Structure 1
């Protein structure tokens, strides 16, 4: 069992059971009325005794360095007692139709409230749903998106978007230990400690190009044009990079990309996400991906399911890009 990230917090069996029962009572669909759903979770967070330990843990977490510790790994988190199965042709539509409880979505929102984060969504991703699925879709199975069936190279979410999330929060719902499918992680801290000063200097030049991500472009409601050239490290320790998609525009830049790829795989950590496993990823301070080894059950691979949100620390800097009348939906 690959669990190369340390577990930071584990819900007790009684906390998990009580939260599942409480969250199963929420009947507001986050896909039809997200604002009302969010309001109900805010009331719950303020009053539920089973959130107290998590709140205390997060208070301590805020005193540590996100640069040095960009991942928060929780286990035994509440998820739905009954998870519907759906096919790979149009899984989002089937989820909207078949999913009658919203425990997983509620936990992701609950965590955001406790952590002081603000979930956002994009018109170009699942038509603006806040809660997104990491689940294979037939028409996108060969892409580098959350709908892929195969591996996903190291990246940060929405690396070249004008509204980049600060956090990517993922909750495991269904997986098979027969299949070697790992979520992979590497911190920018480890990368910068590995890369030579000359490679770092090259990476800091605006000699690199990363196309917009597949999901934004292929299912887009808003045309974004060509992404701009960029440096890889920005703001000192923030990496803008997508393995095998970010390209150097000259020989020195191409050599630096190869050095960075080698550093990624020398420093990576892998987790086989189990149901109830949760990881919060500092999107600007790390890179993540999906790695696939031996597949012994192809049917289970097609049903592997995690659910996620992308969050910002504050919506205020992004309000010029938000759909009027909303405080979470990005116009792009």
Structure 2
């Protein structure tokens, strides 16, 4: 049965088995079968453009939900039941996964990346690593990944983040998703007032540290209007006073209380506004083999000309290609 649910700024959709069978067939005929080259994480142009031209493979209600997300009428969309790749090897390319990722990304904007994050890849493989097990990074597994927004320290941040489940053994860890308006309503007024002041500091995450980035000072983690709050948050956020630290603790406690829990199995996808949602992930046991959890991720920017103005045109004249060089 098809399912549609909207709660707390999060829209959840499920694709039926009959719909999934048709989607699988159409994707193979119209996209995958016409794209014989290997997938390239740093040059997604051809595959993503072809997928975008055939976005009607997605059910109309799914495209409508993504349009509401793009227009600000909802803040997150969760999709379950998308056709998943048949696993023919431990690291077989997830061609269907890339196709759904491409369709969702291009309906919202354009993929982009950072030199210091996964070498400028535009599609990220998110998997646990032994050296990152206890870190606050996407390579972690042994600890909960704290609530955060992506690339919070940077002045050019994704508008949307897309996560797609390629593989996830049982028990599946929950991705915690928080609608900022829900968290703000839970907080004491004095907490919200203080977090609106530009008195906080956010450090660059470990993956960006080799680039020598300094922490960002003067951050007001809650922005927007009282009726339309936005958020900018990372586990490294600090303040200089006891009142600042109390506000941080109160906000995190409130945010965790209103978190939605989404379990991303193969064929599940979540996409959310990076300005209106926080996300985290529960810990899980990693084996560091071909059975471990594996997600695909893209960062999405509504308007790529914003980066062209700052960084200049790409040598080959392709704006999306330029974005991999944004840092």
Q: TM-score, normalised by structure 2?
A: 0.83
Alpha-carbon separation, structure 1, partners of 2:81 and 2:118: 28
CA gap 1:27/1:228 in 2 versus in 1, 3 angstroms: farther
Q: State the partner residue of 1:121.
A: 113
Alpha-carbon separation, structure 2, partners of 1:152 and 1:63: 26
Alpha-carbon separation, structure 1, partners of 2:42 and 2:244: 46
Secondary structure of 2:155's counterpart equals coil
Alpha-carbon separation, structure 2, partners of 1:281 and 1:48: 19
Secondary structure of 1:212's counterpart equals coil
Question: Do the aligned partners of 1:136 and 1:302 also contact (CA within 8 Å) in 2?
Answer: no
Secondary structure of 2:113's counterpart equals strand
Q: Tell me, which stretches of 5 or more residues in structure 2 are unaligned?
A: 316-320
Secondary structure of 2:216's counterpart equals coil
Q: State the partner residue of 1:82.
A: 87
Alignment of 1:1-332 (within 5 A): 7-10=12-15, 12-22=19-29, 23-25=31-33, 26-31=35-40, 34=43, 37-47=44-54, 50-51=57-58, 53=60, 56-58=63-65, 61=68, 65-66=72-73, 69-82=74-87, 84-85=89-90, 99-100=92-93, 102-113=95-106, 115-150=107-142, 151-177=144-170, 179-217=171-209, 220=210, 222-236=211-225, 237-243=229-235, 245-292=236-283, 298=287, 303-319=292-308, 320-321=310-311, 324-325=314-315, 326-332=321-327
Deviation at 1:194, TM superposition (A): 1.3
CA gap 1:328/1:77 in 2 versus in 1, 3 angstroms: farther
Q: TM-score, normalised by structure 1?
A: 0.82
CA gap 1:127/1:60 in 2 versus in 1, 3 angstroms: closer
Alpha-carbon separation, structure 2, partners of 1:309 and 1:39: 16
Q: Tell me, which stretches of 5 or more residues in structure 1 are unaligned?
A: 86-97
Secondary structure of 1:42's counterpart equals helix
Deviation at 1:130, TM superposition (A): 0.6
Alpha-carbon separation, structure 2, partners of 1:48 and 1:207: 44
Question: Do the aligned partners of 2:169 and 2:291 also contact (CA within 8 Å) in 1?
Answer: no
Deviation at 1:121, TM superposition (A): 1.1
Deviation at 1:199, TM superposition (A): 1.2
- How many pairs were matched up? 306
Structure 1 stretch 276-285 or stretch 318-327: which is displaced more?
A: 318-327
CA gap 1:79/1:186 in 2 versus in 1, 3 angstroms: same
Alpha-carbon separation, structure 2, partners of 1:254 and 1:302: 40
Secondary structure of 2:177's counterpart equals strand
Deviation at 1:228, TM superposition (A): 2.2
Question: Do the aligned partners of 1:323 and 1:330 also contact (CA within 8 Å) in 2?
Answer: no
Question: Do the aligned partners of 1:124 and 1:215 also contact (CA within 8 Å) in 2?
Answer: yes
